Structures are given as C-alpha cells and as structure tokens.
Structure 1
Amino acid sequence: MLPRGLLARSVLIILVPMLILQAVALQLFYGAHLDVISRRLAGGVAGDVAMLVELVRREDPENRAWIFREAAWRLDLALAYEEAARIQFVARPASLPLLPLEEDLNNALRERVRLPFDTDWQSDPRSIIIRVQLPDGVLHVEAPRKRLFTSTLYLFVIWLVGSALILSGVAILFMKNQVRAIRRLAGAAEAFGLGRDVGPMKPEGASEVRQAAAAFNRMQERIRRFVGQRTEMLAGISHDLRTPLTRMRLALAMLPRDAETEEDLAALNQDVEEMERMTAAYLTFARGEGVEQSRPADLVELVKDVAANARRTGAQVAVTAPEALAMPLRADAVRRCLGNLVDNARRHAQRIAVEVRTVPRTGLGGPGGEQKSLWAEVTVDDNGPGIPATEREEAFRPFHSGSPDGTGLGLAIARDIVRAHGGEIMLEESPLGGLRARVRLPV
C-alpha cells in the first residue's frame, strides 16, 4: 500500500503527522469552539426574534411602527409585516453544508418562538430572512449574517489549508533535491558496474549523501588503480612466459630430426603450442575487458560477423535476427563472448542456430533491473551431445574443459563479459537436442 519511491515515502513521513495534527485541531474547533459560538449566536438572534414576535402580537397595529423603528436601531433587525398572508414553505438546499449555523438557528427558533417559521439564507447574500406565521399575517425579520457568522472561521480554514499547502510544497522541493542526489549516485554506480567511464561524482545533497558520493569516488579510483596495476603485471607475465616458450620452440626447431625422434619432437611442438594457447587465453580472461569503453553498437551486426567467421571454418550457422538492435556495448568484448559460444558449439555439433530478439525484463535480474524494461537476448543452439544439467554450472569454472582441444576458459570469459555488461548467461537444453547458451544483456 505504501509508495516504493524514497521521495514519496519521505514526503509522507513529513506530511502525514502534520495533516493528522491539523485534522485534530479542526475537529476540536468544529466540535467545541465553533459549536458553542454558533449555538450562542443563534440563541441571541432567536431570542430577539421571539421578543419582537410577542411585542407585535401584544401591541396594536398603530404602535407597530415604533416597534419596527426600535428593532432597527437597537437590535439591527429590519422588520416588515404582511397582513393576511401565509408562509409558503419551500424546501431549500443548505447554503453552508459544512457549518452548523442553519441547524442551530432553526433549533433556537423552534425552542423560543414556538410558531411556524421559515428561514431563507439564499435570497440575500448579506442577510438571513426569517418569516414567522402570526394569526393575522406574516412577520418578516431581516437579520444581518454577521450576527450569526464570524469571519475568524474563514481565517482559521485558510490558515489550515494554506499552511498545509506551503509545507507540502517546501517538503516536496526539499526532498526532491535530496532524492536527486541519491538517484545520481545510483546511476553512477550502475554505469560503473556496467563498465562505463562515468568519472568522479560531484558530491551534493545532505552530508550523508555527500559522504556516500565521496566514498564512491574513492572506491572507483581504487578499482581503476587496481585494474591498471593488474594489467601492467599481466603484461609483464605475458612477456616472461612467452620468452621461454619461444626459446623452447627455437630449440625444438634446431634439433636434428630422424625417424626415431620425429614423433617425439612433434608431440613436444604440440605441447608448446598448447601452452602458448593456454597462456593467451588465461591472459585474456584475467585482463578482462576493462580497457574498452561502452559505445553504441549494433548487436545484430556483431552476431552476423561472428556467424560469418564460423562459416569460414566450415560450420553450418543459421541466424535469425531483426534488422538492427542498437544498444551500448563493448563491441570487441561481446564479439569475443559470442565467438567463444559459437566456437564451443562448432567443436561439438554439426548444426548451429543463433537467434537475436528482445524480451521483457522479468525473471532474470541484473544490476538496475527495475530501471530498464527489456533484455536483448541471444541464444546459441546446437545439435551436439550437450551438457548434463548437474554439470552446467561447473562448465563456467575456469580451465574446466569438456574437450581435449579446449582450454576451459571460453565459457568463463563469456560469463565475465556478459556480467560486466549487467547481464547474465545460462546453459539450457536446446530444442535441437544439444546445448543452448542463452545470453541476456540490458537494452
């Protein structure tokens, strides 16, 4: 039932107690002060009208002019007498439905006048017309509204409503500025998690939000420094490993060859090539794709390039995709990821099917899942032997190879790249009978 956003919740925390307090004050005013004042004012007017009715009934018609003159001067009531008239009772809607004034006046007149009467609150905006039925006519009494109504009521209501609106506006503006800083921090963290260079954040907002932004900047700098140091270290390792491997290859090439040693030398050359391949694959996995920045790219074009490269090696690859699907990507990394998946399928199957589509962002969750609505989904199906369901998660572990000519890093590198984009990769049973690799990236 509560709103999910921080802005709405914060505004509710501020406004609900204030509104409850004002509702209590308004109820106390209506239930006590206004009720008492209204009954007293109505009783005063009803008493004056009752006294005038008695005077008109007791005095001769010749003396009524004196009564009318004194009532206008001393009681601020205008009187008129209509001979041989009868009151025409007309049902009128309440002119002040939220106030007890009309009901209090009618109750007071019933109690004190004890004659048929009628009240008209609508004919004159400044007066209330009271008609009392006498035996030989109708007495008209025109009483000013100020005798029954106090202007402090308007001031009180205006104060309640005005203060509520002002406080609501101030609370919304203030909390909106605070929440904007938090949203910027969340957006920067999301972008940095997806491998985009967002640069240092400018701390703003409350001190706690500024502290969080400063901590994020320090964390971002430490991670960049760590990645840079690791890349430099791995570059040195690459040089150190490849140098002895090159010497070994040269030494093997210079050894004399005959029928007895040819087979052993070929096996050693194959071992050296495998070591070089494993070293290159390991460096690619360990270095990651942190150097490349996300840029707008066409995922469909990348998939078609990977499929074309696989066809040149003799693989049968069918692609089903829309005309284009533009999205922010690290193109070289995604190309390597899809290439690893297609290459794995090529080594174990004769037929490969690749499909690209968009699906609603439900089920699988990635970073910032609530902020985006679509996944870009790429499925790679093959008709090979597949992987048992109990071993699929194990296949993502580095150096876990299911074939003798593999390094066991293809799926590990693919998952690393996909997760760096804020997506996820799964292995499932393929409709072709083999394995399906499903890649989902946030659009």
Structure 2
Amino acid sequence: MMRPGIWLKEALPHGLLGRSLLIIVMPLVVLQLVSAYVFYASHWETVARRLAKGLAGDIGAVIESIRAFPDPESRRIVLSIAAEKMDLDIRFTAAGILPNLPSSKPTSFLERAMEEAMRERVQRPYRIDTDALEREVVILVQLSDGLLEVYAPKKRLFTSTTYVFILWMLGTAMLLFGIATVFMRNQVRSVRKLAVAADRFGKGLDVVAFKPEGATEVRQAAQAFNLMRERIQRQIQQRTEMLAGVSHDLRTPLTRMKLQLAMMGEFDGRADLDEDLAEMERMIEGYLAFARGEGTEVPVETDVPALVEDVAGRFRRQGAVIDLHSEGDLTMPLRPVALSRVLANLIGNAIRHGRVGGHVWLRVGRRQGAAEILVDDDGPGIPPECRDDMFRPFTRLDSPRAAAGGGVGLGLSIARDIVRAHGGEIKLEESPLGGLRVRLRLPL
C-alpha cells in the first residue's frame, strides 16, 4: 500500500500554476471554513433560537389569552389579533385531540430549536410538522378543551442573512480565485517560455524572439539565460574560426613533407615514413572533426527512418549486410549531415568489429517521447567496465575488437558530441546478438 506521504505528494498538483493556486486557495478555504463555523456556531444558531422563542412565545401568549377569556367571542378576537399582528393563522377545534402518532426525532437545528422553545414557552403537548406545507410550519397544541392548530410562515424561523452571508462568502472567494488565476497564469507563462527556450537551445535549435518578461526573479533568470547563450555561441564561433586557422597551418607543412618525401625517391624506410604521415593526417583530421563538432549546420525537419536508410544504403553498396527495421514515420528537427556522420561512424564500427561475413542490425522507432536508434553487431563486444572510457578522445581498447579497427579513437567522442548537441544521449550496451549494442536517443 502507498504511504500517506507519497499518496499526498501524488495527489497534489505538480505544475507551478497548480501549486501556486493551491497556496492561494488553501488560506481561502480555511478562512471560509472558519467563517462558516463561527457564523453557524454563534450568529445563525443564536438568531434561530431567538426566532423560535419568539414564535413559541406568541403561541404561548395566544394560549394564555384564550384561557383568560374562554368565551367564544373573546377567543375569536384573540385569534383575529394573532392573525393581524403576529402573522399567525390559528384555528381552534373544540374537543379536538392531538393525533397519537409516534414522535419523530428532529432532523434539523431549526426543528430542535423550535421544540426546545415550545417546551420552554408553551409547556403543553404539541407536534411540529415542517414538511406538510411548502411555506408554512404546522404546530398542533393540545389544550384542555380542544386542539389548537397554528400555521406560521416559515420565514419567521429563517433569516435571510444566512443566504446573503453564504452568497457573499462564495462570491468573494470565486472572485479572488479568478483574479489570482489570471495573475498566476501570466507569471507561469513567462517561466514556460524560459523553459521552452532553454530546451530548444539544449537541442541545438534556434531561439528566436525570446525576451525577458514576468516577475523580477523570472526576468533575472531569462537575462542570465540570454547571457549564457551568447557566451556559448561566441565560444563556438571563436573555436570554429581558430580551428579553421589550425587546419590550414597544420595541413600546409604536412603537404610539404609529403611532397618532399615523394621527390626523394625510393630508399630504406620510405614505406614507414609514408605510413607515419598518413597516420598523422588521419589524427589531425580526426582531432579537427572532434573539436569542430557540428559546425554551423542549421537544424531542419528530417525524416529519421529515411536518413538511416540513406546511410545504410551507402554501406550496402560496398557489400555490407545490414538488416534495417523501421517502426513507422518519425520526423523531427535535426542536423542531417551531422547525424549522418554519427550513423556512418556507428555502422562502420559495427561492420569492422563484427564477425567476418556477419550482419549489422538497425532499429528505428519512437520510445518514451524520444526517437531511438539501435545499432547491433555480432562481434566480441566491449566489457561493461570499459564502455564509458570508449567515449574519451583518443581512447582505444586493447582487444581483438580494437585491433580489427584502424581509427584513432575519436569516432565515439565525435558521435556523442553531436548527439548531445541535439539534446540526446548515446549509450553502449550488450547486444542480444552477443556483440555490442549502441543505443542512440534523441528527444522529440
């Protein structure tokens, strides 16, 4: 069973708007409950008792007047005065007897108050019926010589201040709640805009026309976000410009060395020097690609299964056996060139490190609000304790899987850099086929 604390946490609102309104509504509810308790426990009960005593007192006065003047003409005058001055319709039935019916317990406070007043002011057998007529209360009183039927308006037992108070209380509460909802929604809207802007920037998308608004604290957070975004964009631009110069400066002497080596002709160790220069060129290209990341490519709406099919088609044309399974349409904003590079790296690794003549399995689908791409091979795999290290630059595994490669240890680093720039994540897992599974997730 769920603990009370956990149940309460799950039952309460999770959004800022809901929680803010709850903070505002709870004092209102407590205030209404306290006001209602004070009103019903003191004012309403006091007024109800006084009204009941007043009605019972009028009935008692009529009964005493009838006893003092028992002749029929005096009784008629007393009943006429009661109808005119007390608003009571009283009928006397000579030799009448109070019905011998089982007494029912009073169901409301007014009935209890009326019975208490009748016992105190009349002190005779009586019966009260508040349900027989819609607008009147019927009170039967047993006298020594007959039965007195009293028809009293119900308004003599009810006070209109009760309804006025309730309507005023509910009306003001709803008005305050509506005003608070409007103001809180405006404040929460600025927080949501900031969250959307941060999410778009985290996915590498453009944040257009975002300006600070809302409360002072929200404006400060928005301004801090804008400054952070400008710093990151400026740093990326500076890095790209610097790497463009580094690329030119490193390639020039490397090309000169290759040219001089070609002009020297054949000699002992020439093949080793050629291999060293080729390795150096691959390392420079790999390092520049890692540091450059996605460059300045603009995200566009991309059909993810079609993109994966295009990359897989390149390897199929080279003779690779790739099994691709797509789970329907899936379109989202991506940098297609950068993601193609990631997929080409992952598929190339699976082909190089898998069994000779083996297959590569690709799966594309939607999982828990994200686009998921799985790349499985049937090679030797990577031990679990070494998987996190494989994302470090220039890290290679001393195993038959690494020996079968030939890279410089930057492929997975570049892949993770690009995937994280899209707001996603990439993980290495054990494949059901016995090799390595690469799980790539991109938030939708």
Pairwise same-fold verdict (TM > 0.5): yes
Contact residue 130 and residue 136 of structure 2 kept, 8 A: yes
Q: Residue type matched to 1:434 in 2?
A: G
Contact residue 285 and residue 409 of structure 1 kept, 8 A: yes
Change (3 A) 1:360 1:137: farther
**Structure 2 residue corresponding to 1:391, chosen from 386, 392, 395:** 386
- 2 CA distance for matches of 1:428 and 1:290? 29
**Residue deviations 1:70-122, cap 9 Å, x none?**
2233333232223454555699998xx7x732321122113332333333434
TM alignment of 1:369-384, pairs within 5 A: 374-384=369-379
- Relative to the length of structure 1, the TM-score reads 0.89
Contact residue 80 and residue 139 of structure 1 kept, 8 A: yes
2:375 is paired with a residue whose SS is strand
Q: Residue type matched to 1:204 in 2?
A: E
Name the counterpart of 1:277: 282
| 1:70 corresponds to 2:75 | no
1:381 is paired with a residue whose SS is strand
Q: Is there any run of 5+ residues in structure 2 with no aligned partner, and where?
A: 1-7, 397-401
Q: Residue type matched to 1:173 in 2?
A: V
- 1 CA distance for matches of 2:105 and 2:314? 85
**Residue deviations 1:106-153, cap 9 Å, x none?**
221133323333334345555433222334443222333343222222
- 2 CA distance for matches of 1:156 and 1:93? 29
Q: Residue type matched to 1:419 in 2?
A: R
- 2 CA distance for matches of 1:315 and 1:275? 28
- 1 CA distance for matches of 2:272 and 2:414? 28
**Structure 2 residue corresponding to 1:9, chosen from 14, 19, 40:** 19
- 2 CA distance for matches of 1:85 and 1:17? 58
Contact residue 375 and residue 440 of structure 1 kept, 8 A: yes
Contact residue 356 and residue 376 of structure 1 kept, 8 A: no
1:332 is paired with a residue whose SS is helix
CA shift at 1:7, angstroms? 0.8
TM alignment of 1:33-432, pairs within 5 A: 33-58=43-68, 59-87=70-98, 100-122=109-131, 125-257=134-266, 260-261=267-268, 264-349=269-354, 350=356, 351-358=358-365, 360-361=367-368, 374-401=369-396, 402-403=402-403, 405-432=406-433
CA shift at 1:55, angstroms? 2.9
- 1 CA distance for matches of 2:336 and 2:51? 83
CA shift at 1:184, angstroms? 0.8
CA shift at 1:171, angstroms? 1.2
Contact residue 304 and residue 331 of structure 2 kept, 8 A: yes
Name the counterpart of 1:366: none
Contact residue 327 and residue 365 of structure 2 kept, 8 A: no
RMSD of Structure 2 on Structure 1 (CA): 2.3
Contact residue 203 and residue 421 of structure 2 kept, 8 A: yes
CA shift at 1:232, angstroms? 0.6
Contact residue 213 and residue 219 of structure 2 kept, 8 A: yes
- 1 CA distance for matches of 2:388 and 2:110? 78
CA shift at 1:320, angstroms? 1.8
1:337 is paired with a residue whose SS is helix
Name the counterpart of 1:371: none
Contact residue 82 and residue 138 of structure 1 kept, 8 A: yes
- 1 CA distance for matches of 2:335 and 2:104? 76
Contact residue 200 and residue 217 of structure 1 kept, 8 A: no
**Residue deviations 1:33-77, cap 9 Å, x none?**
221221122112111112212333451223211111222333332
Q: Is there any run of 5+ residues in structure 1 with no aligned partner, and where?
A: 362-373
Q: Residue type matched to 1:388 in 2?
A: P
- Relative to the length of structure 2, the TM-score reads 0.89
Contact residue 301 and residue 324 of structure 1 kept, 8 A: no
2:141 is paired with a residue whose SS is strand
* Matched pairs, number: 424
Moved more, 134-143 or 187-196: 134-143
Q: Residue type matched to 2:86 in 1?
A: L
Identity of aligned residues (%): 51
Q: Residue type matched to 2:307 in 1?
A: L
Moved more, 31-40 or 235-244: 31-40
Contact residue 239 and residue 292 of structure 2 kept, 8 A: yes
1:328 is paired with a residue whose SS is strand
Name the counterpart of 2:399: none
